[in-house]
Copies of this chain bind each other. A is one copy, B any other.
Amino acid sequence: MFSQDINAMLLLRRCQSLTRLAAVGTQGHQAAPCFASRAVRLCSSSREDQRSYQRANWSANWKRIAAGVLAGTGAVLTYGLLHQEVEQADAGLPTTEKSSSLPVFSLDEVSKHRSLEDGVWVTYKGGVYDVTEFVPIHPGGNKILLAAGGALEPFWALYAVHDQEYVLEILSQYKVGELSVEDVKKQDDAKTSDPYSSDPRRHPVLRVNSKKPFNAEPPPEILTENYITPQVLFFKRNHLPVPQVDPASYRLRVEGLPRGALTLSLKDLKTRFPKHTITATLQCAGNRRSDMNKVKEVKGLNWGISAIGNAKWSGARLRDVLQAAGFGPEVAKWARHVHFEGLDKDVAGSAYGASIPINKAMNEDGDVLLAYEMNGENIPIDHGFPVRVVVPGVVGARNVKWLGRIVVSAEESGSHWQQHDYKSFSPGTDWSKVDHKSAPAIQELPVQSAITVPADGAEIDRSDKTLTVKGYAWSGGGREVVRVDVSLDGGKTWQVAQLRSGDKGQPDEPSPPPGRAWAWKLWELTAPLPPDADELEIICKAVDNSYNGQPDTIPPIWNLRGLLNNAWHRVKVKVTEG
Contact = CB atoms under 8 A, between A and B. Distances in A.
A564 B547 contact: yes
Contacts of A311: none
B493 A428 contact: yes
Contacts of A320: none
Contact of A482 (B439, B479, B482, B545): B439
A360 B514 contact: yes
A53 interface: no
A395 B545 CA distance: 12
Interface stretch (A7-15, A115-123, A345-353, A443-451): A443-451
B447 A548 contact: yes
A480 B553 CA distance: 23
Interface residues of A, number: 47
Given A357-B514, A477-B546, A491-B556, A485 B428 contact: yes
A436 to B, nearest CB: 13
A299 interface: no
Nearest to A394: B546
B426 A485 contact: yes
A476 interface: yes
A532 B499 CA distance: 50
Contacts of A546: 443-446, 476-477, 548
Interface string A353-369: 00001011001010000
B552 A444 contact: no
A494 B433 CA distance: 13
B515 A424 contact: no
A172 to B, nearest CB: 37
Contacts of A457: none
A470 interface: no
A372 to B, nearest CB: 27
Interface in A495-515: 495-496, 513-515
Contacts of A429: 496
A355 to B, nearest CB: 12
Interface in A467-497: 476-477, 479, 482-483, 485, 491, 493-496
A328 interface: no
Interface string A423-436: 01111110000000
Contact of A359 (B357, B365, B424, B477): B365
- The A interface, classified by DSSP as helix, strand, loop or mixed, is loop
Interface string A536-559: 000001010111111111001100
Contacts of A496: 426, 428-429
B491 A548 contact: no
B551 A550 contact: yes
Contacts of A491: 556
A482 B559 CA distance: 15
Given A359-B513, A477-B477, A483 B426 contact: yes
A257 B3 CA distance: 88
A447 B425 CA distance: 17
Nearest to A496: B426
B515 A359 contact: yes
B545 A443 contact: yes
A477 B548 CA distance: 11
A493 B360 CA distance: 36
Contacts of A495: 426, 428
A440 interface: yes
Contacts of A442: 547
B547 A427 contact: no
Given A359-B513, A359-B515, A477-B479, 10 more contacts: A357-B513, A357-B514, A357-B515, A359-B365, A360-B514, A363-B363, A446-B549, A476-B546, A548-B548, A551-B551
Interface of A: 357, 359-360, 363, 365, 424-429, 439-440, 442-447, 476-477, 479, 482-483, 485, 491, 493-496, 513-515, 541, 543, 545-553, 556-557, 564
16 contacts: A357-B514, A360-B514, A425-B483, A426-B494, A427-B493, A439-B482, A443-B514, A446-B549, A447-B548, A476-B546, A477-B546, A485-B556, A547-B564, A549-B556, A551-B552, A552-B553
3 tightest CB-CB pairs across the interface, nearest first?
A552-B552, A444-B546, A446-B548
